[in-house]
Amino acid sequence: MKTSAKIYSGIVFAILFAPILVLLVFSFNDAKSLSVFSGFSLKWYRELLNDRNTLEAVRNTLVLAASATVISTIMGTAAAVGINKLRTKWSKAVMNTVTDIPMTNPDIITGISLMLMFVFVGRLFGAATSLSFWTMLIAHVTFCLPYVILQILPKLRQMDKSLPEAAMDLGCTPVGAFFKVELPEILPGIITGAIMAFTLSLDDFVISYFTSGNGFETLPIRIYGMTKKTVTPKMYALATIIFFVTLGLLMISNLVDEKDEAK
Amino acid sequence: MKKWISLSLIAIMLAGLCLTGCGGKKGLTLNVYNWGEYISDGSEGSFDTVREFEKWYQETYGQKVSVNYSTFASNEDMYSKISSGAVSYDVIIPSDYMIARMAAEGLLLPLNFDNIPNYQYIEDTFKGLYYDPNDQYSIPYTYGVVGVIYDANVVDEADIGGWDLMWNEKYAGKILQFNNSRDAFGTAMYKLGIDVNTTDKASWDKAYDELLAQRPLVKSYVMDEIYNMMESGEAAIGAYYAGDYFTMVDAQSENVDLQFYYPENTNFYVDAMCIPSCAQNKELAEIFINYMLSEDAAIANAEYTYYASPNSIVYTNDGYIEEMGEDVMAVLYPELGSFAEAYNKMAYRNLDSETLSYLNTLWENVKIN
């Protein structure tokens, strides 16, 4: 039984990581091929550093993800606190359903409907172009928001309701009680929500594709544009770097969690 | 620990927000929309067309211009973006059939050739192409001709020539066919000598029978997968564009020797520079197009993309010919006599919707049977 369990998890890990391994190995390939490995070289990493458009796309992606994360985390926290304070079950259910819509809706429908709305509003105001960085930001906040709320609500439910009440009893203003007592309690939820929002925004393609405007190109859109000819190994190099950065972030966040639990 | 992390996260995000705020651009902006990997972009030490244009413009006109360069993956993607009316691009580079469609729908602006003196380098043989018969809307950027690629280590030299090779039973299981209806039917129709733009259903049926006959010999129906399958020697015969053939040769395995030839009748494509009706700075767009036709930029782009250039400044340039090599030149620039004549006779055109849906039904049957 034990060996079969090992084999099983071995297969699972192999399937999970083999594609990344292939990518990693071929990012160091001297030639342009995906079938022949002709020698170790850092050529594609150098190429990547010289590719102004790709680096610009990376920058755009990061800026967009960071902005969307900040906004959706703040909005999401406020929304979660508000939903948690709703008195009746019925109104809670309604609010939850409404905020979940962007999450359950297929991306392509969210993307198209957002685009149509932006175009419609743009025409209303007589603008020649209605899509820009800002429309993309609105779109990203829209689909990140439910995930943030979903991370924070359980923390709020777990929290002892008498804690903020006690704080206010002892002379805290409601705002003070929120920042001093509630916020530290739900902070782990907020951080997880922010990380989720960041990663979701980072790799979104479908919605970005429909709402992107002139010249503001994110990385997924740029890579998609390369598929007419073959994707160059530069992209393997980039993907390898992104993979290790994400891996590092994940490890840090897991280590922090472990420490918190140990306390 | 956690506080520290969240604080630094917030700091990073605020810095990110600041970056967008400070990124406001002054001066002129030119929005260019092109295929991915379709312009010399400074990689591997090549000429950085967009940056050089910005520099050149500042020197010549004393004004700053910044180029927003975006890419698309297919004509249809580009069309849906432009026709949605939500974006504004100044220069686009679609393919022939899409230019015909966009011109018919009023999505293109006629060019002012006073601003594009370098148009003189485009010779008459590239004028009067069917998609823009009066040469009002477009200036060709690249062209390519479909040919047959084969692995000389597998295929007998005696068997090559014509489309028959793709129907040769000797190589059953080694043949690749296009995985899209137009191109796949095209190979059969060129083989049979049928007009690829016919509306006669009986002719399409003939091509359909031909594809059915070929089916047992076909290894798979592919598009981009053809690169890896040919490079690795998995397949030995397939049809594709000449420029892409060199990409494959660059990456072929040691035991593969890819060769190329043109059958008598075959498909052409032309990608051309146009200005869409949503352009906001038409004159600047024309200056950019003119720059793309100038010596440095045109040669660099032709060397980078590896597609044939219709610009006489390029294909008569000694440096370019030397860089490409004679063999490559012979493949990229086949002797056609009059390009326009051959192109207008053989290239695919937009089919009417009835023929198109008939074609698609037939194609589904090919794939199901």
Task: Express as a percent the part of chain B with pLDDT over 90.
Answer: 75
Between A111 and A261, the more confident residue is A111
Q: What is the pLDDT of residue A216?
A: 86
Q: Is the ipTM of this complex over 0.90?
A: no
Span B103-112, pLDDT tens digits: 999 999 999 9
Task: Express as a percent the part of chain A with pLDDT over 70.
Answer: 95
CA–centroid distance for B277 within its chain: 22
Q: What is the pLDDT of residue B245?
A: 92
- Those residues with Cβ within 8 angstroms of residue B74's Cβ, 6 or more apart along the chain or in another chain: A228
Mark which residues 111-150 of A lie under 8 Å from B by CB. 115, 118-119, 122-123, 128-131, 133
| Cα of B200 to nearest chain A Cα, Å | 32
Q: What is the pLDDT of residue B23?
A: 42
Asked whether this chain's domains B24-137+275-334 and B144-268+346-368 adopt the same fold, the reply is yes
Q: What is the pLDDT of residue A144?
A: 94
| Cα of B322 to nearest chain A Cα, Å | 23
Residue B24: band (very low, low, confident or very high) from pLDDT cuts 50, 70, 90:
very low
Mean of pLDDT over chain B: 90
- Note whether A260 contacts B2, CB cutoff 8 Å: yes
Span B296-326, pLDDT tens digits: 999 999 999 889 999 999 999 999 999 999 9
Q: Which residues of B touch A118 (CB under 8 A)?
A: 86
| A225 at B interface, C-beta within 8 A | yes
Q: What is the pLDDT of residue B20?
A: 46
Q: What is the pLDDT of residue B41?
A: 86
| B36 at A interface, C-beta within 8 A | yes
pLDDT at B2 over 70: no
Q: What is the pLDDT of residue A50?
A: 83
Domain B24-137+275-334: which CATH number of 3.40.190.10, 3.40.50.300, 3.40.640.10, 1.10.760.10: 3.40.190.10
Closest by Cβ to B87, choosing from A36, A59, A131? A131
- Note whether B42 contacts A51, CB cutoff 8 Å: yes
B241, closest residue in chain A (CA to CA): A229
Residue A229: band (very low, low, confident or very high) from pLDDT cuts 50, 70, 90:
low
Closest by Cβ to B42, choosing from A50, A128, A252? A50
SS3 annotation, chain B: CHHHHHHHHHHHHHHHHHHHHHCCCCCEEEEEEEECCCCCECHHHCCEHHHHHHHHHHHHHCCCEEEEEEEECCHHHHHHHHHCCCCCCCEECCEHHHHHHHHHCCCECCCCHHHCHHHHHECHHHCCCCCCCCCCCEEEEEEEEEEEEEECCCCCHHHCCCHHHHHCHHHCCCEEEECCHHHHHHHHHHHHCCCCCCCCHHHHHHHHHHHHHHHHHEEEEECCCHHHHHHCCCCCEEEEEHHHHHHHHHCCCCCCCEEEECCCCCCEEEEEEECECCCCCHHHHHHHHHHHCCHHHHHHHHHHHCCECCEHHHHCCHHHHHHHCHHHHHHHCCCCCCHHHHHHHHCCCCCCHHHHHHHHHHHHHHHHC
Task: Express as a percent the part of chain A with pLDDT over 90.
Answer: 36
| B58 at A interface, C-beta within 8 A | no
Mean of pLDDT over chain A: 87
- Those residues with Cβ within 8 angstroms of residue B356's Cβ, 6 or more apart along the chain or in another chain: none
Span B41-98, pLDDT tens digits: 887 788 999 999 999 999 999 999 999 898 888 898 899 889 888 888 999 999 999 9
What is the model's pTM? 0.83
Q: What is the pLDDT of residue A102?
A: 86
pLDDT at A11 over 50: yes
> Quick one: B144-268+346-368 is in which CATH superfamily?
Periplasmic binding protein-like II (3.40.190.10)
Q: Which of A18-22, A216-220, B17-21, B50-54 has the lowest mean pLDDT?
A: B17-21
pLDDT at B1 over 80: no
Between B87 and B293, the more confident residue is B293
The mean pLDDT value for A120-148 works out to 88
What distance in Å separates the CA atoms of residue B360 and residue A28, rounded to the nearest whole number? 43
Q: What is the pLDDT of residue A215?
A: 75
| A24 at B interface, C-beta within 8 A | no
Q: What is the pLDDT of residue A250?
A: 79
Span B197-243, pLDDT tens digits: 999 999 999 999 999 999 999 999 998 889 889 988 999 999 999 88
| Torsion angle defined by CA atoms of residues B185, B187, B191 and B196, in that order, rounded to the nearest 10 degrees | 50
Residue B208 vs residues A129, A192, B184, B191, B193: alpha-carbon distances, Å = 45, 57, 10, 12, 14
Parse chain B into domains and list their residue ranges. Answer: 24-137+275-334, 144-268+346-368
Q: Which residues of B touch A252 (CB under 8 A)?
A: 5
Q: What is the pLDDT of residue B26?
A: 58
Going along chain A from its start, the domains and CATH numbers come out as 51-231 (1.10.3720.10)
